[in-house]
Structure 1
Amino acid sequence: MENRINPIPSDSSFPLYVSLYLYSLSADPGDPSNPSFPMQHQDSELGRLGRVEEARRVFNEMIQRDVVSWNSMINGRIEEAREVFESMTERNVVSWNAMISGYVQNGDLKNARKLFDEMPEKMLHHGIRLSLELWRDLTSQYLCCSLSNYCLDDLELIGSLRPIAIKTGYEGDVVVGSAILNAYTRNGSLDLAMHFFETMPERNEYSWTTMIAAFAQCGRLDDAIQLYERVPEQTVATKTAMMTAYAQNEESREALELLIELHRSGSVPSDSSFTSALSACANIGDVEIGRVIHSLAIKTGCQFNSYVMNGLISMYAKCGNVEDGSHVFRTIRVKDTVSWNSLISGLSENYMLDDARVVFEKMPKRDVVSWTAIISAYVQAGHGEVALDLFLDMLARGIKPNQLTVTSLLSACGNLGWLLCVEEMPEHDLITWNAVLVGCAQNGLGKEAIKIFEQMEVEGILPDQMSFLGVLCACSHAGLVDEGWAHFNSMTQKYGIMPLVYHYTCMVDLLGRAGYLSEAEALIENMPVKPDSVIWEALLGACRIHRNVELGQRVAERLFQMTKPKSATYVLLSNLFASQGMWDKVAEIRKLMKDQGLTKEPGISWIQVKNKLHCFVTGDRTHDQIEEIYSALKEYYGCFRATGYMPDTNFVLHDVEEEQKQNELLYHSEKLAVVFGILSTPMDHPFRL
């Protein structure tokens, strides 16, 4: 595909340019009425529209050329643009800016930087003296353009642009500063971003919301909250950013409280505010609150915004009210792909597979999300063969799968799935490899994921941060400590990729599962990025598995200091004490949880059989077939004990008889769901919990 600086839109005014061109050819070059400007304008417009061949023809046949004509020709193919640029006998500031921007837009930042560095001296050679104001203006355009879109994967390049900003006095400029900040956050370098943020002499609304959003997306909600509380003047944008942060991190009540606060303050919530609130409402499954938000959107005139309407479809569907979601869908005059996808996903999530397929077939244009939604629906319904047929159909239509598509296929087809992904995909680019790699890791195919990574290297595909996340996750699931260390170290030593907190979390999980608790703690203490609560929770879970009370208490104290109390942390610590028979400590934990209003959420296991969802809790007595399930479970349990199986009752309360402890473990929700699945499905038919 040719590199172009501009796209080629359809433009009905093209005949007008041809008429002007023909008129200019018949004019006398010495005549003052010669329409040289229309000629230049025509050439410029042809270049802008991407009609490069026509533009070159106009340029070659032009009677008079000036610097404007030459500049117009630069806006074409990047290689030819450089030829035109070098051929220019006269260049002005626009010439240089057009050429540098062309390189930036085509992702060639090395040549853009080289040309930028040469600009002052060569412009002087062409008789152009750069004033400080003009130089700073060019610098600002170059920095913002480069940082905003084109160097996100190159941390070294982002850092190299900062000296330019400092030299020209632009580091303190809020626009350039925000561009640098945006580049750091989108690269995933949050600690570098935060360091730069703290040094910014001036911050605007965009700076604050960028950092809040970045922390939220990385699961660092506490950092996002602390930053939000520092905002000197709260606006609709900053409150919306915090609402989104809460919703993304499953703190939905707090997100909805912010919407109420925003409304009561007299401010009009934005479209994004409503979208975040609807997402939060969907998370908690409260359709009544959802209806209130819907009414508020109508009162503020936001109900016809496409994002809000799509959010309404998803909210109603996730709350189990598919009919209202379908009604919203029918009221949308111009339905975009997201609208169709929202309805398909909503129907699928409510086990209305046939209806979802009908909507899918009616879609005027399907994207990878559409295909993924319907493939996942068939996988969840246990129809792996149909899902596989759809996957192959998607590939035949030239649509590249994403990670979720591959994960769904792998969960249905196992080893066959990953082989199909590798063999059938028409293009093996980095995105495709990563999708298969991470999909294998998530489905417990650790060794297969490592093979995928090695095959990538053999074929010359350079891995990125996502690739390493997948292979480290695979090593963790497969218990491959040496391989995990080797891949982790190769990130910096071989590929020059700085590990993010996610990569460290994978390593801590790997070391913790394998019993290397001291090494895991040392890794956290010495990591160059700030550890979050997730990485400490991974270590606490490992302490529970290996019954290391001393380290577990230290880790729990860290967690209590850095985050607001979570029931999961207390439960892990309580189980750790219980495993060692420290019942006084268990009682203390229970009291602490009660004092803080925390309760242990009961474990629920789901299984879908014949398009119907069945839910079980430990000791369940409500299911229609519960007697049959209990009878079969006791029979299986007898077989297990005969082969030497004994349940570990150390985690069950000490004031309960041993037989009762074993019964509590026997009738665990997952065991009940598995036995029901065995009783309700054919021998060769897979089922999912």
Structure 2
Amino acid sequence: MVLFSCCLFQSSPYPSSWNKAIKKQVLEENHERAILTFNHMQATGVSADSFTYPVLLKAIGALSLRDTGFALHGHIIKTGFSGDAFVQTALLGMYSSFRCIGHACKVFEQMTVKDVVAWNSMLSASVSHGEIDDAAILFDLMPSKDLLSYNVMISGYASIGSVTCARNVFDESPVRDVVSWNSMILACGNAGDIREARKLFEEMPERSVITWNTMLVAYLNNELPEDAVALFEKMKISNVKPDYLTLTHVVSACAHKWREMMNDAGIAKSAGCSVIEIQGRTCKFLAGDNSKMD
């Protein structure tokens, strides 16, 4: 049945059939296949339209194929679709994923219609590029904002440990989701304000595994391994299932705790050694031994 469906759209002279196949492949995160389908579409003489390019640009951005993205942008200009609002927004998203802030700015400036999706893409590009001040200017200029707009700015301020600015945006946000709260906890943790981070954690209406991991990292970064272990014990009796990152953080906390106990007790770790056979001889090398073998 699948083979029959593939044969049907591959013999179709209409781009809509191809677009459905490409979109389905991108939704399934089969980005390489989506690009191959587009190439086959071109080879059969079917022209792409304004619905083809946005999906294809998303696939290219997901794979970080910069050269392919630049080439497709040139192709879009030649085929006359560079002024299409949906294509422009997709181009902006692709360049944002590439962290090509200059190219993203050019596309943004050329856009005749800038909706909240376009503004958010530009905002995300600035934050991911570390241009938090530029992102703040864009944020203030936005004619309308949605939840993503606020979350991007909170995350941006969190990345540089600017708790006050992050808190201002957090308080201004008309609605909040788990991402908003997680970003604020991260901001407080990065700034060393562990008490405020835990306060936010306890105030959250719901917590995801990312929330617990963020709080664990906050404790570890502020050298509080015992609190991290205690938090993990609390997590075990909650309805949130730990992931591999959780276990990594807990192992790190336990190791840190054991190192502290050894130092307090004056216990020194014995030197490790490696046994290697060299030219028929068995040689032992101790850690920290700088002597050379004869």
> Do both proteins adopt the same fold according to a TM-score greater than 0.5, normalized to the shorter chain?
yes
Alignment partner of 1:243 out of 92, 96, 120: 92
Alignment partner of 1:643 out of 270, 275, 290: 290
CA distance in 1 between counterparts of 2:252 and 2:28 reads 30
Asked if 1 retains the 8 angstrom alpha-carbon contact of 2:34 and 2:59, the reply is: no
CA distance in 1 between counterparts of 2:220 and 2:13 reads 53
Give the partner amino acid of 1:643.
N
CA distance in 2 between counterparts of 1:165 and 1:198 reads 15
What displacement does 1:282 show? 1.9
Q: Does 1:383 align with 2:224?
A: yes
Find the counterpart in structure 2 of residue 330 from structure 1: 171
Alignment partner of 1:316 out of 149, 154, 157: 157
Any unmatched runs of 5+ in structure 1? 1-159, 415-638, 646-689
CA distance in 2 between counterparts of 1:400 and 1:176 reads 42
Find the counterpart in structure 2 of residue 258 from structure 1: 107
CA distance in 1 between counterparts of 2:86 and 2:253 reads 42
Q: Does 1:408 align with 2:257?
A: no
Equivalent positions of 1:672-683 (< 5 A) are none
Asked if 2 retains the 8 angstrom alpha-carbon contact of 1:281 and 1:315, the reply is: no
The superposition leaves residues 315-339 of structure 1 with CA deviations (integer Å, 9 ceiling, x where unpaired) of: 2333443322211211222222222
Give the partner amino acid of 2:196.
D
What displacement does 1:362 show? 0.8
What displacement does 1:196 show? 0.9
What displacement does 1:174 show? 4.2
Give the partner amino acid of 1:227.
L
CA distance in 2 between counterparts of 1:242 and 1:381 reads 41
Q: Does 1:185 align with 2:185?
A: no
CA distance in 2 between counterparts of 1:280 and 1:383 reads 34
Find the counterpart in structure 1 of residue 50 from structure 2: 205
Q: Does 1:369 align with 2:198?
A: no
CA distance in 2 between counterparts of 1:252 and 1:407 reads 34
Q: For the pair shown, which has the larger CA radius of gyration, 1 or 2? A: 1
Q: Relative to structure 1, is the Cα distance of residues 334 and 409 closer, same or farther in structure 2, using a 3 angstrom cutoff?
A: same
Asked if 2 retains the 8 angstrom alpha-carbon contact of 1:165 and 1:171, the reply is: no
What displacement does 1:277 show? 2.0
CA distance in 2 between counterparts of 1:247 and 1:290 reads 13
CA distance in 2 between counterparts of 1:273 and 1:348 reads 31
Asked if 2 retains the 8 angstrom alpha-carbon contact of 1:211 and 1:224, the reply is: no
What displacement does 1:220 show? 1.9
Q: Relative to structure 1, is the Cα distance of residues 199 and 336 closer, same or farther in structure 2, using a 3 angstrom cutoff?
A: same
Give the partner amino acid of 2:119.
F
Q: Relative to structure 1, is the Cα distance of residues 321 and 202 closer, same or farther in structure 2, using a 3 angstrom cutoff?
A: same
Alignment partner of 2:124 out of 273, 276, 279: 279
RMSD: 3.1
CA distance in 2 between counterparts of 1:181 and 1:216 reads 15
Asked if 2 retains the 8 angstrom alpha-carbon contact of 1:322 and 1:347, the reply is: yes
Give the partner amino acid of 2:194.
L
Q: Does 1:359 align with 2:200?
A: yes
Q: Relative to structure 1, is the Cα distance of residues 182 and 330 closer, same or farther in structure 2, using a 3 angstrom cutoff?
A: same
Asked if 1 retains the 8 angstrom alpha-carbon contact of 2:127 and 2:153, the reply is: no
Q: Relative to structure 1, is the Cα distance of residues 284 and 164 closer, same or farther in structure 2, using a 3 angstrom cutoff?
A: closer
Q: Relative to structure 1, is the Cα distance of residues 369 and 327 closer, same or farther in structure 2, using a 3 angstrom cutoff?
A: same
Matched residue count: 254
Q: Relative to structure 1, is the Cα distance of residues 258 and 342 closer, same or farther in structure 2, using a 3 angstrom cutoff?
A: farther
Q: Relative to structure 1, is the Cα distance of residues 411 and 207 closer, same or farther in structure 2, using a 3 angstrom cutoff?
A: farther
CA distance in 2 between counterparts of 1:410 and 1:228 reads 47
TM-score where L is the length of structure 2 = 0.73
What displacement does 1:172 show? 4.8
Find the counterpart in structure 2 of residue 346 from structure 1: 187
Q: Relative to structure 1, is the Cα distance of residues 376 and 331 closer, same or farther in structure 2, using a 3 angstrom cutoff?
A: same
The superposition leaves residues 429-459 of structure 1 with CA deviations (integer Å, 9 ceiling, x where unpaired) of: xxxxxxxxxxxxxxxxxxxxxxxxxxxxxxx
CA distance in 1 between counterparts of 2:177 and 2:147 reads 8
CA distance in 2 between counterparts of 1:291 and 1:166 reads 50
Asked if 2 retains the 8 angstrom alpha-carbon contact of 1:378 and 1:387, the reply is: yes
Equivalent positions of 1:125-274 (< 5 A) are 161-164=2-5, 166-167=7-8, 171-200=12-41, 201-231=46-76, 232=79, 233-234=81-82, 235-262=84-111, 267-274=112-119
Give the partner amino acid of 1:294.
F
Any unmatched runs of 5+ in structure 2? 256-286
CA distance in 2 between counterparts of 1:259 and 1:391 reads 45
Give SS of 1:205's match.
coil
What displacement does 1:400 show? 2.4
Higher RCO (C-alpha 8 Å, min separation 6): 2
Equivalent positions of 1:4-23 (< 5 A) are none
Q: Relative to structure 1, is the Cα distance of residues 351 and 282 closer, same or farther in structure 2, using a 3 angstrom cutoff?
A: farther
CA distance in 2 between counterparts of 1:275 and 1:355 reads 28
CA distance in 2 between counterparts of 1:411 and 1:246 reads 37
Asked if 1 retains the 8 angstrom alpha-carbon contact of 2:54 and 2:86, the reply is: yes
